[in-house]
Amino acid sequence: MVCSSLTPNTLHAFIIIYWTTGTEWRVVDKIKTKTTINYLDKVAAWAEQYPNAFPLWVGKIFSNLVVTHPEYAKAIYGRSDPKALTAYNFLIPWIGKGLLILSGETWFQHRRLITPAFHYDVLKPYIKLISDSTNVMLDKWETPCKEKRSLELFEHVSLMALDSIMKCAFSYKSNCQTDKDNPYIRAVYDLSYLTYNRMRSIVYQSSLLFHLSPDGFRFRKACRIAHQHTDKVIAQRKKLLKNEEEMEKVKQKRHPDFLDILLRAKDEKGRGLSDEDLRAEVDTFMFEGHDTTMSGISWILYCLAKHPEHQKRCREEIQELLGKRDTMEWEDLNKIPYTTMCIKEGLRLYPPVPVVSRELSKPITFYDGRSLPAGTITTLNMYCIHRNSSVWKEPEVFDPLRFSPENSNRHSHAHVPFAAGPRNCIGQNFAMNEMKVAVALTLNRFELSPDLANPPLLLPQIVLRSKNGIHVMSWVQEH
């Protein structure tokens, strides 16, 4: 075992995992017989028994350390040069070598060039745009609401999030919410599913076998669709910037958008991003900027649908703030404290990215004296960290007051929906702002309740989804 100090008698017996299809694993250990169980439920059960970490063996080829305690997570997140897991290379044909994939000096250079795109002065004008996109989505809810039909949140929120990021980051009106069967959304879903399947398949570790497989064909087709979408956005902006008058307008803009900053970014040596780097960062942000927020908003609304007492309190707070307005403003974001606590609690129970994996570039020693050598693969399981009963009291209970000011003395890495350390989510402020706007405007117009006949089935892919979607019932709110 790579972790010699984490011996079976002090931490965990070896577990052998064989993959099955869908959301399930077939588990065999030295004691138990074969059973088929839900992945997240089982890992959460192991985390309850071994609340720091445990070694996980997948077949006879791949092993890693699953981290389930914030103090262990803090030590790993704090590494100065963490490497992305090698399996993330399967994402390269899709999103290229952007911030998610890069490491070392190149990663640092990209991070430094892109950081100005998330300054609060840049984010301010986005609130109106996100409000507009959210209202387009909510207008579409009127018909199923009147017909008393349930809504599937992922479908609607995904389009809204893509619409928002296209308007905000690229000043591009895609009309994706009104165009039926948007090919880019379908492509992103297929790419997420196929990449995750490849990561967990021993057979698909072979590039040749994956290329020749039906999944490999679907993956290449989806990549072409996603790249055409990206190339269209970049080409349109570059064409505009060739015009000197338009270039002067962009330079005079007080708050340039994400794409403006990428195209104009220069380091201290005057070097900008190459065309390849530019597309990689745009593809990375288009995926991470809409797919993760889609997951977060959908699960948060589901939590509030399940807990009408908290939903009611949020609505009262929001309606008192907005009055007859149907648009959020920048100054409103800090005036909905209870709604913000509910958002954070939703992110605790259902983190949009449930796991993040890292390969240690250097040896590491944890607070309890246990150590890991360089090259060890570690999986930081946010889903389990957020439900660790040694950190959170009654972790399965939805309790927004965990995030009240008087309860703020928790471990710094107990709540990490956007990861932490040098490689934390660069767009987390953008994501939080979008979640606040979308949740607030939704509750201002509609009352939600869960569709009890169709409960969600957790599906941990690259982002946290549901195998059958998230279905809620909605009613128009009278002001």
Q: Residue 334 corresponds to which tokens in the numbers above?
A: 């800090």
Buried b (16+ CB within 10 A) or exposed e, 396-411: eebbbebbeeeeeeeb
CATH number of the structural domain spanning residue 232:
1.10.630.10
Kindly state whether residue 7 falls inside one of the protein's structural domains.
no
Question: What pLDDT is stored for residue 396 in this prediction?
Answer: 94
Kindly state whether residue 336 falls inside one of the protein's structural domains.
yes
For the cut 90, the answer to whether the pLDDT of residue 401 exceeds it is yes
Question: What pLDDT is stored for residue 233 in this prediction?
Answer: 83
From residue 472, give the alpha-carbon distance in Å to each of 14, 306, 380.
41, 9, 31
* 457-477 pLDDT tens trace: 988 878 899 989 999 988 887
Question: What pLDDT is stored for residue 169 in this prediction?
Answer: 87
Give the mean model confidence (pLDDT) for residues 189-218. 87
Kindly state whether residue 9 falls inside one of the protein's structural domains.
no
What's the DSSP call for residue 332?
Answer: G
Q: What share of the chain is helix, strand, coil (3-state, %, to 5)?
A: 55, 15, 35
Kindly state whether residue 398 falls inside one of the protein's structural domains.
yes
Higher per-residue confidence, 359 vs 161: 161
**Which residues carry a binding-site annotation for heme?**
425
Kindly state whether residue 10 falls inside one of the protein's structural domains.
no
**Which residues carry a binding-site annotation?**
425
Kindly state whether residue 1 falls inside one of the protein's structural domains.
no
Question: What pLDDT is stored for residue 173 in this prediction?
Answer: 82
Kindly state whether residue 435 falls inside one of the protein's structural domains.
yes
Count of beta carbons in the 10 Å neighbourhood of residue 118: 16
Count of beta carbons in the 10 Å neighbourhood of residue 413: 24
Provide the domain limits for residue 89.
Answer: 15-476
Please state the domain count of the chain: 1
Question: What pLDDT is stored for residue 334 in this prediction?
Answer: 96
Kindly state whether residue 234 falls inside one of the protein's structural domains.
yes
Output Rg (C-alpha) for the chain, integer angstroms. Answer: 22
From residue 279, give the alpha-carbon distance in Å to each of 159, 235, 312, 477.
21, 11, 43, 43
Question: What pLDDT is stored for residue 364 in this prediction?
Answer: 87
d(CA 303, CA 290): 20
Global pTM reads: 0.87
For the cut 80, the answer to whether the pLDDT of residue 451 exceeds it is yes
For the cut 60, the answer to whether the pLDDT of residue 59 exceeds it is no
